[in-house]
């Protein structure tokens, strides 16, 4: 089976995608059984594969390339190789019209000295990147749901304290669910 997919990434992320001595590109190609054709002058990436369906994982390659394009480091993006981990991208332009408003919203998500972003990551278990006019989230389904709720609350003007309380409640519930699951196995 043949697979071809085009992605356009920002020029300043092309070097990150290639990596030192091509290591990041090579890691994606080997892990997903694909070939990345990278045009460093305009940011066009072509993901190709002719491997058997059982061998290739081109959609994970698309997710990893997209994650790197949205500001994640390759180390954080490779978390997507885990079968249960997914990428969600939120376009902040859907929530604002002006450049000033976009910067304000990004500032609310990042928080003072990165506190808000850091707490969302710690309490949800997800990884978050704010790059350009996007917020990208990497995590398992439940982690994404919690982080997305927190970001959504901030986008709609909720106070940070309310968001942190929601995150702590969600974290507590996740721990309780894990304990119940663990106790049920014994």
Band of pLDDT at residue 1, cut at 50, 70 and 90: low
Over residues 37-77, the pLDDT tens digits come to 999 899 999 999 887 777 888 899 999 999 999 999 999 99
pLDDT of residue 88: 97
- Residues ≥6 apart with Cβ < 8 Å to 86: 63, 80, 138, 139, 140, 141, 144
Model pTM above 0.75:
yes
186, pLDDT greater than 60 = no
Over residues 128-165, the pLDDT tens digits come to 999 999 999 999 999 999 999 999 999 999 999 999 99
Full set of structural domains in the chain with CATH:
3-78 (3.30.1370.10), 85-185 (3.30.1370.10)
For residue 85, list its beta bridge partners. Answer: 140
pLDDT of residue 149: 97
- d(C-alpha 185, C-alpha 120), whole Å: 30
pLDDT of residue 181: 76
């Amino acid at each position: 089976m043949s697979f071809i997919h085009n992605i356009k990434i920002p020029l300043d992320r092309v070097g990150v995608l290639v990596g030192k001595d091509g290591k990041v590109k090579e890691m994606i190609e080997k892990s997903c059984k694909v070939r990345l054709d990278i045009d460093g002058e305009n940011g066009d990436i072509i993901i190709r594969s002719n491997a058997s369906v059982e061998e290739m994982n081109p959609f994970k390659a698309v997710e990893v390339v997209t994650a790197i394009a949205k500001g994640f480091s390759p180390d954080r993006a490779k978390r997507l190789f885990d079968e249960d981990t997914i990428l969600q991208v939120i376009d902040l332009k859907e929530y604002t019209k002006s450049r000033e408003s976009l910067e304000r919203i990004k500032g609310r998500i990042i928080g003072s000295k990165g506190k808000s972003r850091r707490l969302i990551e710690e309490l949800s278990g997800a990884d978050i990147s704010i790059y350009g006019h996007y917020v990208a989230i990497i995590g398992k389904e439940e982690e994404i749901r919690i982080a997305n709720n927190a970001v959504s609350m901030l986008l709609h003007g909720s106070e940070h304290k309310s968001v942190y309380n929601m995150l702590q409640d969600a974290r507590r519930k996740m721990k309780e669910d894990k304990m119940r699951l663990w106790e049920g196995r014994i």
